[in-house]
Structure 1
């Protein structure tokens, strides 16, 4: 089965599961969401805000690959990036499904691409992730989290969404194409990143070589 078929099945399954759970119909959903958005985390189990914050880290990881990739696509990457910050894989997966594989970059690297390509951006994301996980480990209550996962649809869905963000990273050819553009052909690099959820992609952003720039005229010459 092709990668895009797998991604489509995941997308359809998660959308159907989300509709079936109908989290917006639950009385506690808006209250919990409001506390997370307004940073009123004092009375929340620390693990819940931590997952919420990690769901902001993941779109940034994908953005560091998507925005360069989007230069070679027939549609923009930024609407999917913005949507993924609110709905996770529900908005991210359509980009990954409909994009075409391109293993060379051509065109002008603008300021945004320069920022996303910097190793310091990857390092900042690693530091932020470590702080978030430390907060969850020190202040969180795992027994209470398991109970909320089983009884609170919102907590249940964002937890599954986080796991899907980890799962689809090596499935999509977005990662393969980014490696190819940077001259990385060693399959050990791919598997080292793929088999280390969250921190594999983060370390890749810190260590990957710069993105070569190819003029479009040279590409089609």
Structure 2
């Protein structure tokens, strides 16, 4: 119960902060978002471009855990995962508050789950992330980014959303490891304390999730009787 209340409080606090305490909305924000979305980058700080598109990678990283976790939940994961493409942690926090611990996976993987479970998907996400970060660091203007973080609500909240997504990942990590037969706490903490690249490394290296675990367990029990 404390865990659920904590997620609700974080969600409400984040909404309250973004609405009332973050810097004011600047003229041209919607134009900036439109240009970022359609790839018109002229005059936009590459750091902002990098962070904006990494915020599109994060929902895919979470989806590689969420859709397996949602298999055993009363609340469906897909609406929250889909909404996170646009609003990030604002949509993921309610799911984390509503979900129950789910260290098992039963049944079989459809094609969509197989893609999310694929190491090639994880590698692709990692390459995209490395490319975006390299682009931002090499071509970006940090002084300009800090200035915009201090004055623009969009940049300010997007940056905080990025940090919150880094911090929330362990909330799903433990159960995903358990579903794959992993119990090494050193791996859990290494992934948790390495922002962004820890989750990507985990997706690249985690064992493939076994299908039909429930049926397999039944067969094992039958053979021992």
TM-score, normalising length: structure 1:
0.93
- Quick one: distance in 2 between partners of 1:102 and 1:214? 16
- Indicate the residue corresponding to 1:3 in structure 2: 3
- Indicate the residue corresponding to 2:63 in structure 1: 63
- Indicate the residue corresponding to 1:190 in structure 2: 188
Unaligned runs of 5+ in 1: none
- Quick one: distance in 2 between partners of 1:141 and 1:27? 21
Question: Could you list the per-position Cα deviations for residues 164-195 of structure 1 after superposition, in whole angstroms to 9, with x for gaps in the alignment?
Answer: 0001112x1x2110000111001001011011
Off by >3 Å, runs of 4+ in structure 1: 21-26, 214-221
- Quick one: distance in 1 between partners of 2:206 and 2:104? 15
- Quick one: distance in 2 between partners of 1:18 and 1:149? 13
- Quick one: distance in 1 between partners of 2:41 and 2:92? 27
- Quick one: distance in 2 between partners of 1:52 and 1:165? 13
- Quick one: distance in 2 between partners of 1:92 and 1:7? 10
The Cα shift of 1:65 comes to: 0.3
The Cα shift of 1:28 comes to: 2.3
- Quick one: distance in 1 between partners of 2:152 and 2:20? 14
- Quick one: distance in 2 between partners of 1:142 and 1:71? 42
The Cα shift of 1:219 comes to: 6.3
- Indicate the residue corresponding to 1:161 in structure 2: 161
> Secondary structure at 1:212's aligned position in 2?
coil
- Indicate the residue corresponding to 2:174 in structure 1: 176
- Indicate the residue corresponding to 2:112 in structure 1: 112
**Is the 1:104–1:214 contact (alpha carbons within 8 Å) kept by the matching residues of 2?**
no
Distance 1:19 1:134, change over 3 A: same
- Indicate the residue corresponding to 1:141 in structure 2: 141
**Is the 1:101–1:177 contact (alpha carbons within 8 Å) kept by the matching residues of 2?**
yes
Larger radius of gyration: 2
204-213 vs 28-37, greater mean Cα deviation: 28-37
**Is the 2:67–2:77 contact (alpha carbons within 8 Å) kept by the matching residues of 1?**
yes
The Cα shift of 1:108 comes to: 2.0
Distance 1:74 1:84, change over 3 A: same
Q: CA RMSD in A?
A: 1.9
28-37 vs 58-67, greater mean Cα deviation: 28-37
- Indicate the residue corresponding to 2:197 in structure 1: 199
> Secondary structure at 1:27's aligned position in 2?
coil
Question: Could you list the per-position Cα deviations for residues 195-216 of structure 1 after superposition, in whole angstroms to 9, with x for gaps in the alignment?
Answer: 1010000000000001122354
Unaligned runs of 5+ in 2: none
- Quick one: distance in 2 between partners of 1:198 and 1:5? 26
How many pairs align? 219
